[in-house]
Structure 1
Amino acid sequence: MFSDIGQLIFDNEAVAKTQDFTMGLEIEMQRVDETGELSQEPYPAGAGDERTNPWITNDFLETMSEVVTPPASHALDAMHYLFSLNNALRTALSPGELLWPLSMPPRLPEDKSTIPLAKMGPDKEAYLKEWVKRHGFSAGTPCGAHINLSIDEHVFELVYEHQKDRFETRVELENYLYTVIAQGFNRYRWLITYLFGASPIAETGYFDKNAGPHHPVRSIRQSSYGFGTKFRGDYTNVQRYVDRIEKGAKDGTLISDYEFHGAVRLKGNSNLKDLPKTGVKYLELRMLDLDPSSSVGVRTGTLRFLRLMASYFIMTPALHPEEVEKVIKRADEMNEIVSVEEPTSVTQFQAKAKALMRRLEMYANQIQLGPEYQEELEDLEDRIENPYTTPSARLMTHVKNDSLEEYALTRAKRYQNSALETIRPFKGFDQKRKLSAEDLKTELFKGSWEPQ
C-alpha cells in the first residue's frame, strides 16, 4: 500500500508527522443587509484597512469580506483563529449588516454596475475590471473556503536524509511531495464536491434568463456554471505547472498568472517563474463551498478529512508522470458530472467513492489515528450511502419559492447575534494597525487560548 517514501516514513515511525500539516484558512463571505441584498454600507472601519490588513480584507467585491488566519499547527488551532477573526469582522459591521452564509451570492440587481468592485489599489482594480469584461459580473461573486497546507519539516528532513541519491536538492524533494499531494486532490476533487458541495441553487439575478442548470445540483460553484476561468493547470511537475500558466498569460487566455484559479494552487513566492527554483512552500485547496451550518463557513471535521487525504497522498504511490494529464482531465470530467447531479440522487460514482473511503479508513487504522477521525469517516461514508445527508440535499429542504434567502438570513442573524454577545469584542484593528501573527495571537486570545 505504501510507496517507497511512505514505507521509509512508516519504518522510521514518523507517520504522525504526515498529519502535522501547518494549516491556514481563507474564508470569503458577502456583507448583506437584513432584507438579503448586498450591503450598501462602506467597508467596516473596525476591520482595519482592507488594502493592508493581512487578516481581514476584501476580494472581488467591496462587499466580499475575506478572513485569513495565520498558519496553525493543528486544525483546532486554525478554527480558533478563524472563529475569533470572524467574530471580529461581525462586531465591526454596521447595524443591520450580516454575513451571508452561502457560497452563492444573495439576489443580485439587474444593473450590476451599481455594485462596487473591491478597492484594493489601482493595479488590482484594473485587473478586476478586465476580469468582469471577460467573464461577466456574476461569475466572480460566489464565495468559498480555501485551505492552505504546509508539510511538516520533519518529513522533508527524514526523506531527504535517506534519498539524496534520488533528490539532488531539498527543494527538488519539496516540489515533488507538494506536486504529489496536488495530483491527489485534483484526482479526487469530485469526491470532495459530493461530500461537501453546498450550492444547489442560485438566487435571482445570478443567471441570465434561461441560463444555468434546469434543476437543483450539488454545487453550482464547483461546476462549469460556477466561479472563474476554466483553464486547466498541468500538475505533472512544478516546472510544467509554471510553464502552462505562463503560456496562458502570454497568449491572452489568462489576464495574468494571478488569474489561474485551479482547484489546487502551488504557492511559494510572489514570482511564479521562480517557483521551481525557490520551491513550493504550501498548497492552496480551493474546492470547498461554504458550509452554512457553521458560523465560520467550514467545520473542524472537514479539515481533519482533508489532512487525512493529504497524508494518504504522501504515503501511497504517486501517478506515473505520463499518466497525470490524462487522469486529471478525466477527474475534471467526473467532477462536472458530480457537481450537476440532483442533490438527493445517488452519485454515478458511488462505487468509486466507497472504494476510496474504505482505503482511507484502512489507512487511518494502520497509522492508528484517533476516534475523531474514525467518527468523521463514518459520517462521510453515510453521506455516500445516503445522499439525503449531504449538505446540498439538506439545503434543499429549506428552499422556498426557489430561494434559500429565508434560511440564509435566519442563519446569518443567529450567527451575528452570537458574535455581538461576546464578552470581550476584538478592537485590535480600530486604528488600522497592521498586526503581526504574534501580535494577533496575543490580542485575540489574551491567555484564553494558546495556539501552537
Structure 2
Amino acid sequence: MIQDISKKITWLKEHPEIFKGIARGIERETLRIQKNGNFSESRHPFLIGSPLTHQWITTDFSENLLEFVTPVSNNIDYLLSFLKDLHSFVASKTLNERMWPFSIPYFYNENTKIKIAEYGTSNIGKIKTTYRTGLKYRYGDLVNTISGVHYNFSLPLKFWKYWKKQKNQNNKDYVSSGYLSLIRNYYRFGWIIPYLFGASPAISSYFLKNKNKKYQFKKNKESIFYLPWSTSLRISDIGYTNTKIIDLNILFNDLNSYIQALKNAIETPSEKFINIGLKNIKGEFQQLNTNILQMENELYTQIRPKSKTKNGESLVEALKKRGIEYVEIRSLDINPFSSIGISKNQILLLDLFLIWCALIDSPKMNKTDFLLTKKNWEKIIFEGRKPNQTIYINNQKETKTLVEISEIIFKDLNQIASILDYNENNILYQKACKEIMLYFKNPELTYSARFLKYFINIGVKKTGLNWANKYHEQFINRSYLNNHKNILEKEVILSHNKQKEIEESDILSFEDYIKNKKIFPC
C-alpha cells in the first residue's frame, strides 16, 4: 500500500526553504503543416535558424517536425513566456504554414512525404541525419512523427542534502540515489499523468497495420480509430514503438547498473538490425551501427535520468562523472487546449507529483515488480476512464479503484502544495491540486475525454485546423510584443555562422569519422 508520509510532510513544513530553486525546462515538438492540414513538404525554414546549432529551435525526426527547447529556469511564468515567444517567432516566419496542435498525425496517407531532418554537410550533421535514418528503418517513419512534450525537472541540491541527511561535499551518489527512487515511484504511480493529461485516445489506421488489436476499436466518420475510455495511445505499443527496457535489464535500482545496462545496449549487436544492413546498396550509411541502440537517446522510456553533457561527452560519460542531475518526463501528450502544448496547471501538478515520488519509500524493483507497473500503465493508457477502473497494488491479487488511490495521493499533494505556496506567497499549487483532483471523480474533465468529444462530434481535421489557425493568429498577434524577438533574430544569424564554422573545420571523411566516433550527438 502507499506509504503514510504525514511525518515527513510535518518535517518539510519546518524546512520549506529546501524547495526554493526547483529548476525546469520544456521541450515541445510540433509538426509544421500546410493550411489544408497536410504535412509541410518544405525544408526547415532558413529564417528561423540552423537546426544543428540553434539553442532553442531545432528539428526532431523530420524536416517538418519542429522542436522548441526552453532555457532552464526556476520561474514557471518566464518558462512559459519564453516558449510562447519561440512559437510566435516561428509563426511570424512561416505565415503560410500552421503548427499541428495534436500529438498524433491523423492525416497521413500513401502520398505523404516524410523527409528525414537534415543538418548540413558536416560530419556531426550527417551523424544526426544518419541516426534518424536508422530510426526510420528500425521503427518506420510515420511513428517517428508522433509529437510530445518533455518536462525536465530537478530539485535543489539543498533538498537532497537535507532529505538524505548528507554533510559531505560529494553529492553524486546520494543525489543519484534520490532521483532513481523518484524514477521507480514514477513507474509505480506515473500512470496518473496519462490519465489526467493524455490527449491521444484516437489513432490513424496506418498505426494499426500489422498490429495485434487487443482492444475493440471504434471508428469515426473520418475513419479514424478510437477507444472510448483510452487516454494516451501515443505512449502505447500502438503508438511509439520502442525497445523494451525490461529486456535490457534496466530497472533503475542503482546508477552503476543503469549505466552498464545502457552501455551494453549501445555496444551489443542486434540480429534484427544487422538484417537491415549498416549501409544501402549505394554504400551510404542507413544507421549508425547495428546495435540494440544506436545511441542513448534511442532508449524510449516514460522517464529518463539525465545529466548535462559537456563538449565531447556522451550521456553515459556524464552520468559516470557527475551522476544524475535531473529527470526528463516523456509521458506528456501535446495539450491541444494550450497553444504551446502545455499549461501552467500541468507544470504545477508535475512539480507536486515528482516531489511526492521523491518523498515516499521506493523499494528496489525486480522484473516481476516492473512488469506489474507495466500492466497498470496499460490499463490507464487503453481503458483509463472506464467506470470503476482499478489498479494493482503490491501484487496482482490486491487492487484499488483510481478514485481510492487518487484520494490518498492528492491528500499528500495538497499538503506539499501548501509548502510550495508558502514559499511563493500565493495559493497556485493548492488551486491547481484542487481543480485537477476533480478529474478522478469526473473523468469527463480529463483531456482525453474532452478531446474525444470534439473528435466524435466535429471531427479531427476540422478541430485540428480550427485550433491551428486560432493559435497561429494568437502567435502573430504576440509577435509585435515578443520580448525575445531581437535575441531570436541574432540567434538565427549566429546559428548559421556556427554551422558554417563546423562544416569548414571538418578534416575527416564521414566514413573515417563514424569509425572513430564513439560519442554521437542526438
TM-score scaled by length of structure 2: 0.75
| Structure-2 residue corresponding to 1:441 | none
| Structure-1 residue corresponding to 2:241 | 228
Answer yes or no: is the 8 Å Cα contact 1:346–1:387 preserved in 2.
no
> Which range is displaced more, 360-369 or 197-206?
360-369
In 2, distance between residues paired with 1:159 and 1:344?
38
* Residue 313 of structure 1, CA deviation: 2.7
Over 3 Å counting, the alpha-carbon distance change for 1:290 and 1:255 in structure 2 is same
Matched, 1:96 2:96: yes
In 2, distance between residues paired with 1:427 and 1:65?
21
Q: Which of residues 319, 341, 347 is equivalent to 2:362?
A: 319
Matched residues, number: 426
| Structure-2 residue corresponding to 1:118 | 117
Matched, 1:404 2:407: no
| Structure-2 residue corresponding to 1:450 | none
Matched, 1:433 2:433: no
| Structure-2 residue corresponding to 1:297 | 341
What does the per-residue CA deviation read over 1:393-444, in whole Å, with 9 as the maximum and x for residues that have no partner? 1111112589411101100100101111232452544462348xxxxxxxxx
Amino acid at match of 1:60: F
What does the per-residue CA deviation read over 1:170-223, in whole Å, with 9 as the maximum and x for residues that have no partner? 211221122122222222221111000000112464443887652422111121
* Residue 363 of structure 1, CA deviation: 3.9
Matched, 1:334 2:376: yes
Which sections of structure 1, spanning at least 5 residues, go unmatched? 436-452
TM-score scaled by length of structure 1: 0.86
| Structure-1 residue corresponding to 2:282 | none
Secondary structure (helix, strand or coil) at the match of 1:340 reads: helix
| Structure-1 residue corresponding to 2:79 | 78
Amino acid at match of 2:376: M
| Structure-2 residue corresponding to 1:244 | 261
In 1, distance between residues paired with 2:457 and 2:386?
19
Answer yes or no: is the 8 Å Cα contact 1:28–1:64 preserved in 2.
yes
- Superposition pairs of residues 10-409 of structure 1, within 5 angstroms: 10=12, 13-18=14-19, 20-93=21-94, 95-111=95-111, 114-120=113-119, 121-158=125-162, 162-164=165-167, 169-203=170-204, 205-208=206-209, 214=217, 215-216=226-227, 217-232=230-245, 233-251=250-268, 252=270, 253-268=292-307, 269=309, 270-274=313-317, 275-314=319-358, 316-321=359-364, 323=365, 325-341=367-383, 345-349=387-391, 350=402, 351-365=404-418, 370-400=426-456, 403-409=459-465
Over 3 Å counting, the alpha-carbon distance change for 1:313 and 1:399 in structure 2 is closer
In 2, distance between residues paired with 1:24 and 1:148?
5
Over 3 Å counting, the alpha-carbon distance change for 1:407 and 1:33 in structure 2 is same
In 1, distance between residues paired with 2:10 and 2:451?
44
In 2, distance between residues paired with 1:3 and 1:246?
40
In 2, distance between residues paired with 1:149 and 1:297?
17
Secondary structure (helix, strand or coil) at the match of 2:236 reads: coil
What does the per-residue CA deviation read over 1:21-46, in whole Å, with 9 as the maximum and x for residues that have no partner? 11010000000011111012221222
Amino acid at match of 1:356: I
In 2, distance between residues paired with 1:224 and 1:144?
15
Answer yes or no: is the 8 Å Cα contact 1:234–1:244 preserved in 2.
no
* Residue 158 of structure 1, CA deviation: 4.1
* C-alpha RMSD of matched pairs (Å): 2.7
Over 3 Å counting, the alpha-carbon distance change for 1:416 and 1:211 in structure 2 is farther
* Residue 123 of structure 1, CA deviation: 0.9
> Which range is displaced more, 419-428 or 99-108?
419-428
In 2, distance between residues paired with 1:225 and 1:60?
18
Secondary structure (helix, strand or coil) at the match of 2:379 reads: helix
Which sections of structure 2, spanning at least 5 residues, go unmatched? 120-124, 218-225, 271-291, 392-401, 496-522
